[in-house]
A and B are shown apart, each in its own frame.
Chain A
Amino acid sequence: ETGVTQTPRHLVMGMTNKKSLKCEQHLGHNAMYWYKQSAKKPLELMFVYSLEERVENNSVPSRFSPECPNSSHLFLHLHTLQPEDSALYLCASSQDGTVGAFFGQGTRLTVV
């Protein structure tokens, strides 16, 4: 285990469903991130939370809604997704937001 745990590991959802991805870090870090990894594309930074405040939202559609209730937990709420949203969603955490990041195993999302 890397210290960053994501659940579920796999998720299949219909376009009208609502689901949530969960991330938990046990490293005492103060920043958390959501990345999207699609085939043949660079990792896309979606959201950044620092000290539980959202500091970055990279033009992500509103059908993705992040939540950071405390410094150890990060959620990504999903609703009315599109098939092109199918990807690996990676959570990461870091300290001070500058010295690298530690990643979870990811959630493989398939939208049908």
Chain B
Amino acid sequence: GEDVEQSLFLSVREGDSSVINCTYTDSSSTYLYWYKQEPGAGLQLLTYIFSNMDMKQDQRLTVLLNKKDKHLSLRIADTQTGDSAIYFCAETQGGKLIFGQGTELSVKP
């Protein structure tokens, strides 16, 4: 399949909002996902959105989905130093999870 694309780096100050963007390729993806990977760890499923929704909010996390543009975003409100990690978006292609390269979020105090 084609690539799922993300910007590689994002740096924000503690307390600010972070917005991580992703462009996916398969319009038939039923679910789209955000995963978080902390240093030395595996991937943790952070949140997901069903393809018939355009927004999902879960505490500090807001996921926006624009199906027309195949654009997915993750907003983290009041970003904390513990949010520093790599964030992967993923789509399903033929039942398989296909990941972007990941966005490294750096939170500065």
Contacts and interface: CB of A to CB of B under 8 A. Distances in A.
Interface of A: 2, 4, 6, 33, 40-43, 45, 48, 56, 90, 92, 97-106, 108
Interface residues of B, number: 23
Given A41-B101, A43-B88, A56 B96 contact: yes
B43 to A, nearest CB: 4
Nearest to B32: A100
A102 B42 CA distance: 9
A44 B31 CA distance: 19
16 contacts: A2-B42, A42-B4, A42-B101, A43-B43, A90-B42, A92-B43, A97-B96, A99-B48, A100-B45, A100-B48, A100-B97, A101-B45, A103-B35, A103-B43, A105-B40, A106-B41
B102 to A, nearest CB: 8
Contact of A103 (B30, B44, B98): B44
Given A45-B98, A103-B42, 9 more contacts: A6-B42, A42-B3, A43-B43, A43-B88, A92-B97, A97-B95, A98-B31, A100-B33, A100-B97
A58 to B, nearest CB: 9
A96 to B, nearest CB: 8
